[in-house]
Structure 1
């Protein structure tokens, strides 16, 4: 017989799962050792940086990040810039990041030519947060090494999501993804991890409405789990949501147009079903047909609707094996965010364009990633007869993402060199440096005029909401 202490150690080894965890922690998956987790996080960082390499080569402000947020911080007092509400809500992450960058430029800590690298660096740090949650969080699907790696890949290479990469404007979407992951993960045992989760839950609603959409699911899980940790999470998320809605939220003329339920169902199937499983080009071809069918609403429209309903009904049915199973919280979070966002919250697009998965990629990111990780979670169920089906769907999801990774859209992958644009501005201070895409410009003039009191007032200042609103309506064909 073995000595008693060796016998206990042998029993602990035989109790380990097949994938051989290297270490154990009361918080987080014990599938990988700390060193291995660091290597995976570094690999994740490399993937998200290399997805848009020219961004790092030339330096980039992206759309409103430069034209609205950086320009406003350049022209207005810090107190105004930090708490500014724009497009109906305050985006604290974008406000604070661009304000910090302007302060660094003005203090001489960095030169204006390198200003985009400050915002890109901040944004990339926030992009690491979902990966950090996956690597350190505890959930049943994270006890499988392949599932951890697949989840990281889904966050890094989800198809048609480049728009949220390396810009502080869209930190809000990475924080909303963190909120969805926290809902699916176990409540941490350690105080430090609980505080970290709480900070993310409180910060996310102050950066955008996406995280607020998930509050009902947090309340539902707190009610069903009857867990004090879940209740605390709901309170933190709800408090920050109340602050956003009571003090910063305003009605926007660009939002609030409701999409009818049938059109919404077909739209979601194009973006969350066809695109991640069959590729973006096929999804766009299908989307064109769906839009054409929507105008006569005949037999083809009925067929696409039934197909979309069957897909999402099956997805929810398989995910809802147990209320404690993370898959149901991941899938329901993704569908809820997508339904509210595409149904009422997105900015207007030209007719038919909304059915193209390549348009308004930022709205794809959170629901697509949560549903993708939900497929991973379902593929780890040892007792399910459909395990191989979900593994196949996960493979298709990753293959579609790999195609997009290798060939991003041109306006995401290429743009002007910020250093060249600043050189032109230094020769003529009235010149407006161009950002990505080139139709957007940054006002760096010395004329520090305030914006009109009302967002819909006419005005020519690019960093004011009135000029931006008119441009969005013009681009959408509304005016």
Structure 2
């Protein structure tokens, strides 16, 4: 229904009080028919399912998805678990999904052995939304079949992004990607499409801070476009951001350590330049050299920052052919999200690990996919200077993703069989079933104790924030 509504021609919408942009036309690219778009969406689904096949074979709760969110919903009332703020913000998608899974188990609708498939299924549905936006949205870079297919592949196979696959913890990143896409796409003509875009923009900030980072760019594009539809998108995103920041946001002791500018540029270049263009193994080798040289503020550490600044400045300059060109919004969105996330928003990592593209993959996903699609957008320009260079970078980006597609790191690809873990728990109710990775566990005890009032009180309840903070720090030191 979504694809049908968004692919039909609709009457032009007269923007009030401002005149709408001149490029408003029929919605969705005409490069593919509706039937072909559905086939492409199905192919996209197959790609993301096959990227982590053991997840679907064994059933998986991932890190805090099981240890924190499912356990908390298991022990606390649904109304409390639904609106819980954790690690500095509320993640409505993770809260609601795990509350649903717990209630389905308690009502006897599903067995506990099948609970992970509820959250995995919900997460996968959200993973399809960026693909649906690419297939149905209107943007100049989506007017050719090759560009549409390349954009879909970038979302599905970008290297070192498996951490955001098939878990509700990271729906927030897929929604942040949706916000970046909506910023780059034309404002829809059809009323139902505008409502659906608005729903995504309202939900995204309530699931995490990633989409909030893009609010300044929405404001800027609203001023440039002078379009009522774009203004409404900005208002919706800003309203949801205000709700998150005013009612749920809290300072977290694990966040807020600022990277110095040189280290940040080095890190961005490793993860957004070297890794997607030359492969993750090469990026990691380079990252090790940068870390070793950083102790003495040596030539590699400083020289890489200069190269990084030149590379990203060149991308922005080439993308900025027009203020309304989608490439500039895709590239600038990716760099802005990456700068904030890597510069101040990451959970703690050991000093050397931060330069490894395989660590904390979730922070790679949004900037990597947006910059990748920015390259696609620039490669579609006819007779543009240096177009062959951009096409070469796009090819390398896709090749790097293809090379790593079938070889995810072990923590993402393998883990305990949830059914076996539940069987052990049924035999001994004191046992805590293990999730992925196996150092994390789910508390399924019969007690329903609340968490300590102070978040920094570790206590003995693993689903509470204090105990989680302690474990994150211990795991960081153990790496």
Q: Secondary structure at the match of 1:296?
A: coil
Could you tell me how far apart the structure 1 residues matched to 2:478 and 2:400 are?
A: 33
Aligned length: 455
After TM superposition, list the pairs within 5 Å mapping 1:113-132 onto structure 2: 113-132=113-132
Give the Å deviation of 1:340. Answer: 0.3
Match of 2:246 in 1: 246
Match of 2:153 in 1: 153
Match of 2:380 in 1: 380
Does 2:370 correspond to 1:361? no
Map Cα deviations across residues 243-292 of structure 1 (whole Å, 9 max, x no partner). Answer: 00000000000001111111101100000000000000000000011111
Match of 1:190 in 2: 190
Map Cα deviations across residues 110-135 of structure 1 (whole Å, 9 max, x no partner). Answer: 10000000000000000000000000
Give the Å deviation of 1:391. Answer: 1.3
Could you tell me how far apart the structure 2 residues matched to 1:245 and 1:468 are?
A: 22
Give the Å deviation of 1:27. Answer: 1.3
Could you tell me how far apart the structure 2 residues matched to 1:301 and 1:428 are?
A: 53
Give the Å deviation of 1:299. Answer: 2.3
Gap runs ≥5 in structure 2: 1-24
Match of 1:456 in 2: 456
Could you tell me how far apart the structure 1 residues matched to 2:194 and 2:442 are?
A: 40
Map Cα deviations across residues 348-397 of structure 1 (whole Å, 9 max, x no partner). Answer: 00111100000000000000000000000000000302222111111100
Match of 1:428 in 2: 428
Match of 1:476 in 2: 476
After TM superposition, list the pairs within 5 Å mapping 1:25-40 onto structure 2: 26-40=26-40
Match of 2:137 in 1: 137
Could you tell me how far apart the structure 2 residues matched to 1:421 and 1:465 are?
A: 24
Could you tell me how far apart the structure 2 residues matched to 1:300 and 1:456 are?
A: 39
Question: For the pair shown, which has the larger CA radius of gyration, 1 or 2?
Answer: 1
Match of 1:344 in 2: 344
After TM superposition, list the pairs within 5 Å mapping 1:4-403 onto structure 2: 26-403=26-403
| 8 Å CA contact 1:164, 1:173 repeated in 2 | yes
| 8 Å CA contact 1:350, 1:475 repeated in 2 | no
Could you tell me how far apart the structure 2 residues matched to 1:102 and 1:298 are?
A: 53
Give the Å deviation of 1:478. Answer: 10
Give the Å deviation of 1:301. Answer: 2.3
Give the Å deviation of 1:307. Answer: 1.1
Could you tell me how far apart the structure 2 residues matched to 1:104 and 1:327 are?
A: 44
Is 266-275 or 453-462 further displaced after alignment? 453-462
| 8 Å CA contact 1:68, 1:464 repeated in 2 | yes
Could you tell me how far apart the structure 2 residues matched to 1:147 and 1:418 are?
A: 40
Map Cα deviations across residues 415-449 of structure 1 (whole Å, 9 max, x no partner). Answer: 01000000000101111000000000000010111
Could you tell me how far apart the structure 2 residues matched to 1:195 and 1:301 are?
A: 47
Map Cα deviations across residues 78-105 of structure 1 (whole Å, 9 max, x no partner). Answer: 1110000000000000000000000101
Q: Secondary structure at the match of 2:138?
A: coil
Could you tell me how far apart the structure 1 residues matched to 2:190 and 2:341 are?
A: 34
Could you tell me how far apart the structure 2 residues matched to 1:443 and 1:301 are?
A: 44
Could you tell me how far apart the structure 2 residues matched to 1:341 and 1:300 are?
A: 24
| 8 Å CA contact 1:147, 1:376 repeated in 2 | yes
Give the Å deviation of 1:302. Answer: 2.4
Q: Secondary structure at the match of 1:303?
A: helix
| 8 Å CA contact 2:262, 2:301 repeated in 1 | no
Could you tell me how far apart the structure 1 residues matched to 2:373 and 2:94 are?
A: 27
Gap runs ≥5 in structure 1: 1-24
Q: Secondary structure at the match of 1:434?
A: coil
Give the Å deviation of 1:475. Answer: 2.2
Map Cα deviations across residues 219-250 of structure 1 (whole Å, 9 max, x no partner). Answer: 00000110101100000000000000000000
CA RMSD in angstroms comes to 1.1
Map Cα deviations across residues 157-203 of structure 1 (whole Å, 9 max, x no partner). Answer: 00000000000000000000000000000000000000000000000
List structure 1 segments (4+ residues) > 4 angstroms apart after TM superposition: none
Could you tell me how far apart the structure 1 residues matched to 2:160 and 2:271 are?
A: 9
Could you tell me how far apart the structure 1 residues matched to 2:365 and 2:272 are?
A: 10
Give the Å deviation of 1:458. Answer: 2.5
User: What TM-score, normalized by structure 2, do the two folds share?
Assistant: 0.94
| 8 Å CA contact 1:217, 1:333 repeated in 2 | yes
User: What TM-score, normalized by structure 1, do the two folds share?
Assistant: 0.94
Could you tell me how far apart the structure 2 residues matched to 1:413 and 1:56 are?
A: 11
Could you tell me how far apart the structure 2 residues matched to 1:75 and 1:199 are?
A: 30
| 8 Å CA contact 1:27, 1:193 repeated in 2 | no
Could you tell me how far apart the structure 2 residues matched to 1:415 and 1:150 are?
A: 31
Give the Å deviation of 1:137. Answer: 0.1
